[in-house]
Amino acid sequence: MFDSIVIGTGPGGYVCAVKLAQLGKKVLVIEKGELGGTCTNVGCIPTKALLSGTELYWNLKERGARLGVVGNVSIDLNALKSHTSKTVMMSRKGIEYLFKKNGVELKRGTAYFLEPWKVEIEETGEVFEAKSIVLANGSFPRLFPPFSEVDGVWTSDDVFSMEAIPSSILIVGGGAIGIEFATLFSILGSKVTLVELLEHILPLEDQDVASEVKKALQKRGVTVYESSKVSHLTKTSSGIFSWRLETPSGEITGESEKVLVSVGRAPRIGEDFKEVGLEIDRGVKVDSRMRTNLPDVYAVGDVTGGIMLAHVAMMQGVVAAYNIAGMGKEMDYMAVPSVIFSVPEVASVGLKEKDLKSEGYKVFKYPFSANGRARTMEEREGFVKVIADKDGIVKGFSVVGPLATELIMEGVLAVKFGLKADELSLTIHPHPTLSEAVLGAFEGVADKPIHL
């Protein structure tokens, strides 16, 4: 008898298992695939490994001469893929090490509910019982007509097995995943067409943020269609995709070597979940303590159908572990950062301008073009934006520009703990750094920025 069985080793599952072990629990983890789930194997980690290489190439190509670095550079796809594979393997080994270090037992195979607290591994017939169960089964890419009816359409899972850089690619979906792959393939030299159904790409971000990314994509030759959809898709005898788009300016036809669909993911819900009586909504339904409707059965990460971000899954895993250990904790989604590894990068937290329903908010944008460190880096695109309420409390924070995904944490802390812009404007930021653009935005909300 185990204290807990955790099903799945994605960010939510492995973090939960390690935290449970640290809290003194006897833990069994069951994993049918590679350790690390989507994030480690076909998501965050390999995508960022590819983007790190391509961004370095782009910077050398576009800024090298201006910074005194001369000479021709090129992309070696095999070397880039080798770096990606090595990074993925190191991440898997890291999780395996954490399990061994903390005494977490690992079993390989497909877990299937026999009863709410009794699980069988289908491949071996082994049966295990536990006082509590944590479901971290993850998700899979959504694919629907006409894309599901045409052979060879890529999802985000398929990109990492590419053997050559496609000469052209149609990317369907302008959210975070689609934008990152549009960035990747445009730098690699593919002719990229990006289609977004909603009013603008990055629909969860403000229009001004999305516009900065759109301009950068178009500068690299990406054709962007917004408020548009793919109405027809076929594959020719030569293997080329032929497609038709419905756009605000009328129908447009085209061809591409590859089609990538990046319109989100769906929770992985097994029939055994329903058979044991788990309540299913968009995913496995949970409360703020990550509890399902069955006593001592918890769910974390993508399988819940909520915010499908690795860092959210990790915190849900921690919260579930604490509650299993009798230390009451609740999930707080007020300050969840969103990060997008485009060029330029995007990060945001809290309220957006489009969310503001009343008067009294102050919004200020500080451009990176006015930041000394950004100028030394030949970075002139983007800005830091702060939204504060009538009392000066920071309610929203967005960054589009260099290292936005790192700069976001000052905004996360401000939103999380209700900090005031005028107080933050009196904190000393090191010079010369990109963080001074954050200071300038706080100054702009509190009074007037000194350097603008």
Residue 351 has pLDDT above 90, yes or no: yes
Average pLDDT over residues 30-39: 96
Residue 348 has pLDDT above 90, yes or no: yes
Average pLDDT over residues 277-299: 97
Task: Choose among 199, 205, 201, 202: nearest CA to 396.
Answer: 205
pLDDT reported for residue 216: 97
Contact 246, 229 (CB under 8 A): yes
pLDDT reported for residue 82: 97
CA distance 273 to 232: 36
pLDDT reported for residue 357: 85
pLDDT reported for residue 312: 98
Average pLDDT over residues 287-303: 98
Task: Choose among 43, 269, 262: nearest CA to 170.
Answer: 262
Give bridge partners of residue 193 from the DSSP assignment: 170, 223
pLDDT band at 364 (very low <50, low <70, confident <90, very high): very high
**Measured CA distances, 397 to 164, 349, 362 (Å):** 39, 5, 12
pLDDT reported for residue 256: 98
pLDDT reported for residue 359: 83
| Dihedral angle over CA of 394, 399, 405, 408, nearest 10 | -10
Residue 358 has pLDDT above 90, yes or no: no
Residue 349 has pLDDT above 90, yes or no: yes
Contacts (Cβ under 8 Å, ≥6 apart) of 412: 335, 337, 349, 397
pTM: 0.95
Supply the residues annotated as catalytic: 431
Domains with residue ranges and CATH for the chain = 2-140+266-324 (3.50.50.60), 147-261 (3.50.50.60), 344-446 (3.30.390.30)
Model confidence pLDDT, tens digit, residues 51-88: 999 999 999 998 999 999 998 999 999 999 999 999 99
Average pLDDT over residues 232-244: 95
Q: Which residue has the tokens 């609740």?
A: 330
CA distance 258 to 245: 16
